[in-house]
Amino acid sequence: MENIRQKIEVLRKEIEKWNYQYYVLSQPTISDFEYDRKLKELDELEAQYPEFYDPYSPTQRVGSDINKNFVQVEHEYPMLSLSNTYSEGEITDFYTRTKKSLNEDFEIVCELKYDGVSISLTYENGLLIRAITRGDGIRGDDVTANVRTINSIPLKLQGSGYPNLFEIRGEILMPWAVFNRLNEDRSEEGETLFANPRNAAAGTLKLQNPALVASRKLDSYLYYLLGENLPYEGHYENLEIARTWGFKISNAVKKCRTLDEVFAFINYWNTERKNLPVATDGIVLKINSSKQQLNLGWTSKSPRWAIAYKFQAESAETRLNSVDFQVGRTGTITPVANLEPVFLSGTIVKRASLHNEDIINTFDLHIGDICYVEKGGEIIPKITGINKESRLLIGEKIKFIKNCPACGTPLVREPNEAAYYCPNHAHCEPQIKGMIEHFVGRKAMNINAGTETIEQFYQAGLIRNIADLYEIKTEDILKLERWREKSAANFIESLKESLQVPFDRVLYALGIRFVGETVAKRLVNAFHTIEGLMSASYDQLIAVEEIGDRIANSILAYFTDESNRQLIEKLKSYGLRFTLGNEALAGRTNVLQGQTFVISGTFSIHSRDKYKELIEKNGGKNTGSISAKTNFVLAGENMGSAKLEKAQKLKIKIINEEEFLAML
């Protein structure tokens, strides 16, 4: 038996080596026939001797055909999206901002931006234990069973030096050759074709049958390590050692020290990417040093130490047939062009945004015009111009509407605003349904109701505002089509769970114009209760970091409306949280009450964002620039010379990390 065990182990190691050479290095050293023969031999031995079963054996990549629902798992580290840029000028701005903020030398790692499905892989003791999709960035679907079928993702790591527990992120991709073959098969079978490889990869990864996933031949590129004990301080260096552990890391990675080097990388790959076997849509720039990344920090949506440059969008010409006017959840009216269908960047485009009245007037749009259409970021189609030389038989001029297309209310356009909006938020159907959709969203109240469900509830007369959701009973739902006991119970349970959603998300869920996730958190940290926010004056509002004139006036207008105040009272009666929780309040003090801080330089104990949080949590205020009202400058290494000079001129006290922490 020991001989059999050793033979199985040798076969496994050989096949793992051949997999790595073929799928990661693209350097096969054995024929397909010989590989298949060895894999079959191993499969037969494992079947004959089940006592030697190993879930990490190469034979297990074929996947089971057992149908399983995906479980949602919270990410250890949030998977934030990157800020996008479309010009060299914006890259220069990013470089200049970084240089000013760090005030020291730094390196930028340039990588290809692969157009696939983001994935997070967790390894423990060298074994793949979990694969999670991006989801909403906070939690995603556990697709481990499907990912195990992808040959370029190691089930067991090779080499040495990897941490006991770490995470690596990347993209799951469908190569062009596989995509084209898949669409040919679907065409022959009369099935709908996939629009592009990204959609095909996303659809494949969400299949409930891992055996079918295995047949789709997905690939991967991995590009970011996270963990407590990574081998190197540099992102580039960690990627290089990850290669030796068996990960497929792109060869198109370059460490740059100047803008010229960055632009040379971009210019080369802007053309050369078209020869790659997988889809790409840009370049990602990352600051190499993890310490510098920490000091630059994050916004609520993206890291400040990385940015994505999108390649110039493909464009096409097509005829404008008509224009619709859509009403958004906050009442904003968006004109949408209906176009003669045209193939663009992998999809058929029939509609494109016209944004606002100024755009329509600038283009002097007429029905029948031949329009230049692009995909902004190669995702959202937009009209970028008109071919006026082709104007022969055109129809009437496009004019922006004066009344809401849904409820007939006269539209309003605020001074210095480009968009018109319908002020009838309480009785305009698209606004009501849009507001409810926003309210139930995953980042808001996370209630189990999608667009179709809300439409059905609305048409049945069950909802006319967000508070009505909490009046819905199981018996009400079961009277509707397609509802069963289990789905009704899931909806009711999600309503109950939403009562535990923290105050900042509840405030965001209300859908106040210009109050996004970050602003909602700022307001909650400043006022602690809904009563405090409702009674806040204009001066009190603009004193909060990131709250300017536009946001302050929007908040005041919202709470001046008696129907909104009544709505909040109703939501409070159902048990929604409108106060900062005891846990959040527990660590708060007034130690820094009335003190204004400016943060400058790089830090070693905590990140900038952490220091901002500590200042606010202890009653202080953060500002970005030094003035006579500044009380302290919290200075790290390489403080900006201009700020230092201004602080000394105004005789403002400069403190270091240790002195600041001692104040707390």
Tell how strand 253-256 and strand 315-327 pair up: unpaired
Q: Are 12 and 60 in contact (CB under 8 A)?
A: no
Catalytic residue from among 113, 248, 286, 643: 113
617: tokens are 């949590």
Averaged pLDDT, 303-323 = 89
Domain ranges within the chain, ordered by starting residue: 2-61, 103-308, 313-421, 429-498, 503-585, 596-663
Q: Which two tokens stand for residue 618?
A: 């202890």
| Top-confidence range, 51-65, 143-157, 601-615, 616-630 | 143-157
Report the distance separating Cα 446 and Cα 442, nearest Å. 4
| 236 vs 628, higher pLDDT | 236
Tell me the pLDDT tens digit for each residue of 50-96.
777 787 788 776 544 333 467 888 888 888 888 888 889 999 999 99
In this predicted structure, the answer to whether residue 431 has a pLDDT above a threshold of 50 is yes
Return the pLDDT at 189.
Answer: 62
Averaged over 408-431, what is the pLDDT?
Answer: 89
Overall average pLDDT of the 450-462 stretch? 94
pLDDT (0 to 100) of residue 57: 82
- Averaged pLDDT for residues 588-597: 87
Per-residue pLDDT, averaged over 105-129, amounts to: 95
**What is the rounded average pLDDT of the residues 513-520?**
86
**For position 465, what pLDDT does the model report?**
95
Q: Give the mean pLDDT of the chain.
A: 88
CATH architecture observed for domain 2-61: Orthogonal Bundle (1.10)
More confident residue, 132 or 603: 132
- The CATH number that domain 503-585 falls under is 1.10.150.20
Give the pLDDT of residue 637: 82
CATH topology of domain 596-663: Rossmann fold (3.40.50)
* pLDDT the model gives residue 22: 65
Question: In the chain, how many H helices and how many E strands?
Answer: 25, 20
Mean pLDDT over 166-186 rounds to 90
429-498: same fold as 103-308? no
In the predicted model, is pLDDT for residue 459 greater than 90? yes
Span 141-152, average pLDDT: 91
335 or 355, greater pLDDT: 335
Measured between alpha carbons, how far is residue 362 from residues 356, 357, 385, 398, 399 in Å?
10, 9, 9, 11, 12
| Bridge partner residues of 597 (DSSP) | 622, 632
Please state the rounded mean pLDDT for residues 636-640: 80
Among 222-231, 298-307, 316-325, name the one with the lowest average pLDDT: 298-307
pLDDT at 68: 47
How confident is residue 238, by pLDDT bands cut at 50, 70 and 90? Answer: very high
Domain spanning 313-421: which CATH class is it, in words? mainly beta
* pLDDT value for 379: 56
Question: Which distant-in-sequence residues (6+ apart) come within 8 Å of 28 by Cβ?
Answer: 18, 21, 22
Tokens found for residue 305 = 């130490």
Mean pLDDT of 328-333: 88
- Identify the residue with better confidence: 518 or 320: 320
Q: Are 207 and 65 in contact (CB under 8 A)?
A: no
Q: Which of 356, 337, 352 is nearest to 417 (CA)?
A: 356
Among 212-226, 410-424, 474-488, the range scoring the smallest mean pLDDT is 410-424
Is the pLDDT at 337 greater than 50? The verdict is yes
Domain 103-308 superfamily per CATH: DNA ligase/mRNA capping enzyme (3.30.470.30)
Look up 113 and say whether it is catalytic.
Answer: yes
Q: Does residue 252 register a pLDDT over 80?
A: yes
- Position 378 scores a pLDDT of 47
Task: Please report the pLDDT score of residue 65 as a whole number.
Answer: 38
Whether residue 97 is predicted with pLDDT greater than 50 in this model: the reply is yes
pLDDT bucket at 327, cuts 50 / 70 / 90? very high
pLDDT at 534 (0 to 100) = 97
Residue range 285-313: average pLDDT? 89
Is the confidence at residue 17, as pLDDT, over 90? no
CATH architecture group of domain 429-498: Orthogonal Bundle (1.10)
Choice between 543 and 148, residue whose per-residue pLDDT is larger: 148
Work out the pLDDT band at 214, boundaries 50, 70, 90. confident
d(Cα 44, Cα 53) in Å, to the nearest integer? 12
